[in-house]
Copies of this chain bind each other. A is one copy, B any other.
Amino acid sequence: MSPTPASQILEQLNWRYAVKAFDPARKLSPDEWHVLSESLRLSPSSYGLQPWKFLVVQNPALRKQLRTASWNQSQIEDCSHLVVFTTLKKMTPAYIQDFIRATASTRGQKPEDLLGYEKMMITNLTDNGRGDTLQPWTQRQAYIAMGFLMETAALLGVDTCPIEGLDPAKYDEILKLTGTDYATVATVALGHRSAEDGYQRLKKVRFSTSQVIEIR
């Protein structure tokens, strides 16, 4: 294992910006998409519960509808891959038991060996434990995965635009999530910037280190 050079990480994080215009002709390669989708799947989450589904919307008719539910932003249709982040609205004992089974099978254990862990999660996270704070919490987890996706893309030289300016209820309708356990929270469009997108030439605006990082 040789660490990635610091200079390369910094160069790519500075290269990244929120793309306003994608080049619709430039698609991601299957290899690029493989790494990107793995970075979603490998993202950390609280308890390791992965309370999410990532919908990759490639159907042009669906993209067209989603665009109207996203303030008509062109990135929705012009990007190569559109990832819609959806998360659990509530946590159920059945979901936790699925996760316990996955854990046991991955690690060669018996689900019964993990009963204490299972019970603790059921107590803490299902209706009694969390109530209305559950969905904001699953949504926060999804934003870790958004971070992983956008940083991985930057490292690969792939462009992104995170989009929160959308109507989640309309997304749920268009993507047939209404009535399911999942709801839309945000999307990330991926692809390659158009040479004509003037925003790539604007300087990145960030507060200074001393404004946002304090040593205590």
State the A residues within 8 Å of B (CB).
1-4, 6, 8-16, 18, 31-32, 34-35, 37-44, 46, 48, 50, 52-59, 62, 99, 102-103, 106-107, 136, 139-141, 143-148, 150-152, 155-157, 162, 164, 175, 185, 202-207, 209, 212-216
Given contacts A13-B42, A43-B147, A53-B214, is CB(A107)–CB(B206) below 8 Å?
no
Q: In the bound complex, do residue B1 and residue A42 qualify as a contact, i.e. CB atoms below 8 Å apart?
A: no
Q: In the bound complex, do residue B46 and residue A164 qualify as a contact, i.e. CB atoms below 8 Å apart?
A: yes
Contacts of A157 in B (CB 8 A): 1, 3
In angstroms, Cα B162 to Cα A183, docked, is 25
Given contacts A10-B35, A103-B205, is CB(A4)–CB(B155) below 8 Å?
yes
Given contacts A4-B8, A34-B6, A147-B145, is CB(A42)–CB(B14) below 8 Å?
yes
